[in-house]
Structures are given as C-alpha cells and as structure tokens.
Amino acid sequence: MINKLKLKNFLNIYNLNYKYQYNNKINLYLIRNGLNKNLIKNLSNNIYVYFFIYKFKIYSLKFLNIFKLPDWSFFECPNINYDNIIYYSSILKDSNLLLYLKTNLNINFLDTILIKNNSIDVIFDSISILHTTQYFLKKLGIIFLSLFDVILKYPLLIKKYLGTVVSYKDNFFANINSIIFSEGSFCYIAKYIKCNFNLSTYFKTNSYDFAQFERTLLIASEFSYVGYLEGCTALMYKESQLHIAIVEIIVKNYGYVKYYTLQNWYRGDYLGNGGLYNFTTKRGICFYFSKLDWIQIELGSIITWKYPSTILKGNYSISNFYSISFLSNIQIADTGSKIYHIGSYTKSYIISKSISLNKSLNIFRGLVYIKPSAYRSYNYTECSSLIFGNNSLTITIPYVKNYNNTSVIKQEAFISKIEILYLFLLMQRGLNISDSISLIIIGFCSSIYNKLPFELNLEIPILFSLKVQDILK
C-alpha cells in the first residue's frame, strides 16, 4: 500500500502548480535563427553521423513554401515570427543538472516508487536528460530510447520507418517539424513481446520564447502489446511558447498499442497573455487484426490544434479514440479525430467529452472515411459537451464519407449546461460551489479517465478540482 506521504509526492510528479512557480538556474546553449539551411546545419551536431537525417531535413525544407497556415478554423491563429524564436535549447555541462532533477522533478521518489511500473524518458527543452531501465528493456526485446540515440545505434530502423505515417508533405506544421525536429522518443516492441509496464515520456519546455519540436516513433511488431504515456508541462512566461510535434505509430498484425496523453501546458493568464501554442500531428496505422487506442486529457495550452487519427489498413483492425477537453478562461481547442477505414470488417469508436468554462472555445471535428474496400466496417461517434458561463462556446463538426453500402456509421451529439438546480441540490448537501462544479465535471468525464492507468487515474480528479478552484477565485 502507498502511504499518504508517498501518495502526496506521487500526485506532484507530473504537474507543478503554477502558484508555486520556480526559477531554474541552469546554463543553456541556445540557437535562435530563421528557417533556413544554416539552421539545419547548426542543429546537426555531426552531419556525417546523421547524414540521412540531414538529407531528410534539407529535402523537407524545399517544400516549406508550398504549405500555408490553415485558415479553416473558427479563430485566427496569432502570427508567429519564425525568425525570432529559439529553435534549440540544451543544457551546458557546467550546469547543476542533478540538483535540478532532484528538487524539481522528484527523481529520488521516481526511482524508488514508479520505476517498478514505468520506464521514463524526460525531455527538457530540446534534449533527453534522463532515461530509466533502457538496458533492462533491451533484454526483453524492447528498444525505448531518445530519438537521436536510436539514429546513432539503430539507423536502419529509423530509415525504414521515419516519415512513413506522417510525411513532410502532410501539412504545414508537419513540414516545419520535419525540417527542425531535435529530439523525441523511439519505441520498438519485438515480435510476441507483451510489455506489462508502461513506457513514459515527460516533455518540459523551460526556456523563454522557446519552440519545442519533438518527434515520437512507435512500432509494435506482430503479436505485441505496449502502453505508452506522455505528459507535458511548461513554465509560466508573459510571452507565448510554441510546441509543434509529430507522433507516428505503426501497429503490425495482431499488435495492440494504448497511447495515453496528459497535456497540461501553461494556459496563459486571464487576459490571454502567455500560454503555449500546441500544434501536433498524431497518426497511427493498423494492419491485420491489430488495435490502437488513443486516450487523451487536454487541460493546458492557450491554443490547441490536434487530431489523433488512425488508418485501419488491415482487415479486422480496430481503433478507439477517447478524449476529454477541459478549457477555461480564454483557452481555445480545435481537436477531434480522423479514422480511415480501408480494410474489411474494421471498427472504430470516437468518444469525446468537452467542458467549456468562462470564455473558452471548444471545437470538435470528427472525420470518418470509409473506402469502397472497407466491407462491413463500423463506426460509432459520440460527442458530449458541457458548458458553464454565458460566454463559453462549444462546437461539433462531424464529417462523414461512406463509400461502401455494407458499412455502418452511427453518430450522436449532446450539449448541456451545468444547471443551477444541480448546484443547489449539491450545496444543500453541504458542498460549496467549487466542490459542486468539480463533482459534476468529474462524473461527466469518469467513463473516459477511468481508462487511464493507475498513475494518472488518481491525478485527474485532483487536477479538475484545482482548475475549478482557480477559475472561481
């Protein structure tokens, strides 16, 4: 059993309350330049060792002017000066890194308690600074390393899979990431291997006026299983930060991947100053009898554009998407999922729950595309929204294409508000206004966050309660 003290420490690992903002006294090496060939050279520590990556980035750069910023959303994305942001930030050798880890990331507790059920990669700005149990994992047939370690040690794997799911030609943000990605996580699960503990990556942006460009590549071989968690936080600054990422997942025959995300970037102040812009492209491909689950919790960032999608290429493949988007103040989230049914007898489920408080804007976009080859395929989409406040707004935009008359698509949408009557009933039972709203929201979302592993399942109700308390101050 975990005692109360350990549980308290446990709940503080992934998220540090901005009320207790700390300053990091760390010397950093920074690269600030425009999107050009010189920037790519500066980012390439050794062009000859990583020559094929260098060529990949240079070739991506040629397509930069072809793409433009998406203009189909309900809001205008602020202009980003790509010539004036920090593209790379790494820790210098003379920095007191060990002290920082112990004091702010609680590494001592992490090693003694969580290491039994997790393998963790910590990415600080542009580099990986901590990786646990990698040698133990290798003996089990699992490669879990930072991306550039894998480029050095297993270049053939990177050459084979990099960019096969999300191409540099895919969209504006995917192209930018392909030009200047600096770090990320790589996971390879060998054939017949069932990973009974979670692999985790923690992303943290620390530097002022910084842009993080990480890339995650996950391959699950035949008859394998893995659960992967990612968590992210950012420091509080008056100026905004930028996060542009790519996640590629390949699930081979009879493989199964669960991909969990807890996104808690800094969301800016009440006036909209600061906050992180989060533009992420996530996509997986499933082959014969394989399965991919997306489970995500969206709490932070001032602007979020993210649509985890799955290509169901193999017959009998399955994909599930479960999402909670909890916004407040003037946060904006344009999220959803895309499912492409190519193989026969494929199934997909999209379950989304959004909560909009104050002046927030919550947009759900769902795309279900069933091709003529997808014989007897099935999709069910359910979008539920909860609003509180006169100025909050929620929007649902379903988009369906079904080119096979043997396939079935079902969709439901539900929007409601937090009724005063419900609050009155709970307050009559002794709860205050903050606890009453929190209880309604937690009950509304419980069917999704209960799918999270134990480490995160404990944390979500507390995060929701803290966010409501912060709003009602």
Q: What are phi and psi of 316, to 5 degrees?
A: 65, 15
Confidence of residue 231 (pLDDT cuts 50, 70, 90): confident
Cα 381 from Cα 383, distance rounded (Å): 7
Assessment of whether the complete model's pTM goes beyond 0.75 = yes
| 13 neighbors 105 (Cβ within 8 angstroms) | yes
Burial of 430 (0-12, 13-18, 19+ CB in 10 A): exposed
Above 50 in pLDDT, residue 9? no
Residue with tokens 């927030």: 360
SS3 at position 426: helix
Encode pLDDT of 403-462 as tens digits. 999 999 999 999 998 888 888 999 988 889 999 999 999 999 999 989 988 877 888 888
Average pLDDT over residues 127-150: 78
Mention every residue, 6+ apart, whose C-beta is less than 8 A from residue 387: 355, 356, 357, 393, 394, 415, 416, 417, 418
Long-range Cβ contacts of 416-421 (<8 Å, 24+ apart): 416/385, 416/386, 416/387, 417/386, 417/387, 417/388, 418/386, 418/387, 418/388
Domain limits, the chain: 25-306, 419-473
Q: How far is CA 420 from CA 247, 417, 425, in A?
A: 42, 9, 9
Using the structure block, give the residue that is written with the tokens 């001592």.
108
Q: What are phi and psi of 471, to 5 degrees?
A: -70, -40
